[in-house]
């Protein structure tokens, strides 16, 4: 049996948290019960990619019961220690503020390549997109822009052990070679059309711009609505630091622009609102960061917009319940943007699926 199932075993988790969590929270007199919720449960014979949530119901010294959520992120082939190290680094750098919240890092279990952290309480930007709540969508996108500006302004410490594979398109997991092999084994060549050509073009374009950047910036690396949490009035939270790295800050901008467009068009079905939100995000970011949108930055935003659409297409082709139709739809959007030369924030793409 796959060893990761131990992290779904009540007795194992109860003993583990009594050992690892209680010493960090003196106010907890005892843990009464734990509810285990698997957010992501991709488990094979010996390998796995999982995200588990643990709802701890605990008792304080006066007998009052309270609740805490702890999240575990584990991957058999991608050690998650960098997530714990990143959270510790960002707390040390005082990234959390009155407006920005981060998960609290707890501990790492090397046996499972698993990081445990205290979850943020609140609903995601994606939740409000699915609801079609335009007021909250707009508010959260503005707050997200200010949050990314603050992240990108943090200094990069040369002595910190960053996960450098996350820096560039060519080396970000799962990687070009794996993608091509999987596509070839699952589909006929015509089904995924010019995906390899797009991938190669993105890598080539980044290789031209990356070496000449004056410096690297701390980026989230996976900027999308499901990683943005509304944690209170005028407060936003950021989660999932698996792809955190010193890289080109334009990657967070292009990625977030593409993802808010994609989710709003599919869930709210309002192309004009999607474009309005893309423009709002970029305008708020430029205002908060003091940066200027020159032609060089615009081209880099376009690059990472295309790459994020491409990455999403790969997801649709290669996930457990593939949808080549959705994948080809994204490839068509990339093709149209490149053909017309439109800027990422100006596009009105109609995702029909």
Give the integer Cα–Cα distance in Å for 314 and 308.
10
**C-alpha of 183 from chain center:** 24
Residue 353's pLDDT band (boundaries 50, 70, 90)? low
Please say if the pLDDT value at position 186 is more than 80: yes
Query: Span 117-143, mean pLDDT?
Result: 96
Residue 28's alpha-carbon distances to 16, 23, 198, in angstroms, are 15, 9, 53
pLDDT at 12 over 80: yes
Which tokens belong to 23? 């010493």
Among 71-75, 186-190, 289-293, the minimum mean pLDDT is found in 186-190
> Does the pLDDT at position 77 exceed 80?
yes
Confidence band for 213, pLDDT divided at 50, 70 and 90: confident
Of residues 139 and 211, the one with the higher pLDDT is 139
Per-residue confidence band for 161, with pLDDT thresholds at 50, 70 and 90: confident
Find the mean pLDDT for residues 79-102.
92
281: pLDDT strictly greater than 80: yes
Q: Write down the pTM of the prediction.
A: 0.93
Confidence grade of residue 159 (pLDDT, cut at 50, 70, 90) = confident
- Model confidence at 176, pLDDT cuts 50, 70, 90, reads confident
**What does the pLDDT read at residue 37?**
97
Do residues 141 and 125 lie in contact, with contact meaning Cβ atoms separated by under 8 Å? yes
For tokens 């996108």, the residue is 141
Class level of CATH domain 123-346: alpha beta
Average pLDDT over residues 326-340: 93
Task: Give the C-alpha separation, 185 to 322, whole Å.
Answer: 14
CB neighbour list of residue 268: distance below 8 Å, 6 or more residues apart = 129, 132, 134, 137, 274
Tens of pLDDT, residue by residue over 218-273, are 999 999 999 999 998 878 999 999 899 999 999 999 999 999 999 999 999 999 99
C-beta atoms surrounding 225 within 10 Å:
23
Spatial strand order in the sheet of 65-75: 30-43, 48-59, 65-75, 114-118, 104-109
190 pLDDT tier (thresholds 50, 70, 90): confident
pLDDT class of 189 with cuts at 50, 70, 90: confident
Smallest Cα–Cα separation from 332: which of 181, 198, 185, 179?
198
* Domain locations in the chain as residue ranges: 3-118, 123-346
- Summarize pLDDT for 42-60 with one digit per residue, the tens: 999 999 999 999 999 999 9
What distances in angstroms separate CA 249 from CA 154, 226, 287, 296, 322, one per listed residue?
Answer: 11, 19, 15, 13, 31
What does 106-152 look like in DSSP terms, one character per residue?
EEEETTTTEEEEEPPPSEEHHHHHHHT-HHHHHHHHHHHHHHHHHHH
């Amino acid at each position: 049996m796959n060893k990761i199932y131990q992290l779904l075993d009540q007795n194992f988790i109860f003993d583990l948290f009594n050992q690892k969590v209680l010493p960090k929270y003196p106010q907890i007199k005892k843990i009464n019960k734990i509810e285990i919720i698997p957010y992501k449960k991709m488990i094979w014979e010996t390998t796995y990619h999982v995200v588990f949530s643990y709802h701890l119901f605990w008792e304080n010294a006066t007998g009052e019961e309270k609740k805490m959520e702890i999240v575990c992120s584990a991957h058999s082939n991608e050690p998650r220690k960098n997530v714990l190290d990143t959270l510790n680094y960002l707390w040390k750098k005082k990234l959390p503020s009155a407006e920005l919240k981060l998960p609290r890092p707890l501990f790492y279990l090397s046996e499972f390549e698993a990081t445990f952290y205290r979850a943020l309480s609140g609903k995601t930007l994606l939740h409000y997109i699915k609801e079609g709540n335009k007021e909250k969508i707009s508010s959260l996108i503005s707050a997200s822009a200010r949050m990314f500006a603050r992240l990108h302004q943090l200094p990069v410490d040369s002595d910190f052990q960053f996960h450098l594979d996350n820096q560039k398109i060519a080396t970000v997991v799962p990687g070009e070679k794996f993608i091509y092999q999987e596509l070839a084994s699952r589909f006929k060549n015509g089904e995924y059309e010019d995906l390899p050509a797009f991938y190669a073009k993105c890598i080539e374009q980044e290789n031209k711009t990356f070496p000449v950047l004056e410096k690297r910036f701390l980026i989230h690396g996976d900027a999308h609505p499901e990683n943005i949490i509304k944690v209170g009035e005028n407060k936003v939270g950021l989660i999932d630091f698996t792809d955190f790295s010193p890289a080109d800050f334009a990657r967070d901008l292009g990625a977030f622009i593409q993802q808010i467009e994609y989710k709003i068009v599919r869930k709210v079905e309002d192309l004009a609102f999607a474009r309005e939100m893309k423009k709002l995000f970029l305008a708020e970011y430029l205002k908060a960061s003091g940066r200027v949108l020159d032609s060089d930055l615009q081209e880099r935003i376009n690059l990472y917009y295309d790459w994020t659409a491409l990455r999403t297409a790969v997801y649709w082709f290669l996930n457990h319940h593939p949808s080549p139709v959705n994948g080809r739809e994204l490839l068509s959007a990339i093709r149209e943007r490149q053909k017309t030369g439109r800027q990422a924030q100006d596009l009105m793409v109609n995702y029909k699926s």
